Chains A and B, each alone.
Chain A
Amino acid sequence: DARVTQTPRDKVTEMGQEVTMRCQPILGHNTVFWYRQTMMQGLELLAYFRNRAPLDDSGMPKDRFSAEMPDATLATLKIQPSEPRDSAVYFCASGLVSGTSYNYGYTFGSGTRLTVV
């Protein structure tokens, strides 16, 4: 089965350091989402892209977070500087959306567990 690959799987970093998380969407998928999951807040949508263009990043703290898709095979989420409150599991998901038709579900990666100490 095709899968969404996220790296690293786990990351422990000190407060103030830059963190970069990577996502390789499924080949041929044109839509990518970034989520953050914590026990308190659940799954929060941070940003999403369609055909590599950012469509919405209103859920992302703009002063420290940035999301990009340098090419169709790579999406990145950066935090600079990182803070303890950023500790969470970050998920990437990809899917194919064509016009207004069904997308038949998105595929999620296994996530990056980030701990900021």
Chain B
Amino acid sequence: LAKTTQPISMDSYEGQEVNITCSHNNIATNDYITWYQQFPSQGPRFIIQGYKTKVTNEVASLFIPADRKSSTLSLPRVSLSDTAVYYCLVEGPNQGGKLIFGQGTELSVKP
């Protein structure tokens, strides 16, 4: 199974852009990268998913380099409500269809 590594915690201020990088060195050809967000007392929420290059939606952007051994979640102009834990996952048939969560990155946004 592909293992992901991301920073345990990050601090930011309102209005800043936040980039959270995840490494997944043993990602397989058919795997793709997914990010989830979790607020206290809630279940994780799907944010964004990608295979390569760049994906953007109304919430975030996901940058994946050509070797796909890492990915970066970019949150533009964060607000206090973006304070949450962010999880990077590798999904796909090579993972047995499982959705395995690592420790995540606890993002704290300060005023």
The interface of chain A, by Cβ under 8 A from chain B, is 4, 31, 33, 35, 42-43, 45, 48, 50, 55-56, 91, 93, 97, 100, 102-111
- Main DSSP-derived SS at the B contact region: loop
A48 near B98: Cβ-Cβ < 8 Å: yes
- Which chain A positions have C-beta within 8 A of B42? 108, 110-111
Asked whether B49 lies within 8 Å of A102 as measured between CB atoms, the reply is yes
Please tell me if the beta carbons of B46 and A105 are within 8 angstroms of each other in the complex: yes
- In the assembled complex, B100 has its CB within 8 A of some CB on chain A: yes
A83 shortest CB reach to chain B, Å: 23
Contact A103 B98 (CB under 8 A): no
How far, in Å, is A22 (CB) from chain B's closest CB? 15
Known: A104-B49, A105-B34. A55 touches B43 (CB 8 A): no
| Contacting pair B46 A106 (CB below 8 A) | yes
Asked whether A55 lies within 8 Å of B99 as measured between CB atoms, the reply is no
Taken together as a complex, chains A and B put the C-alpha atoms of A4 and B46 apart, in Å, by 13
In the complex, what's the smallest C-beta–C-beta distance from B29 to chain A, in angstroms? 11
* Complex-state Cα separation, A86 to B97, whole angstroms: 26
A-chain residues with CB within 8 Å of residue B111 when the two chains form the complex: none
Q: Determine the distance from Cα of A48 to Cα of B36 in the docked complex, in whole angstroms.
A: 18
| Interface status of B65 (Cβ within 8 A of chain A) | no
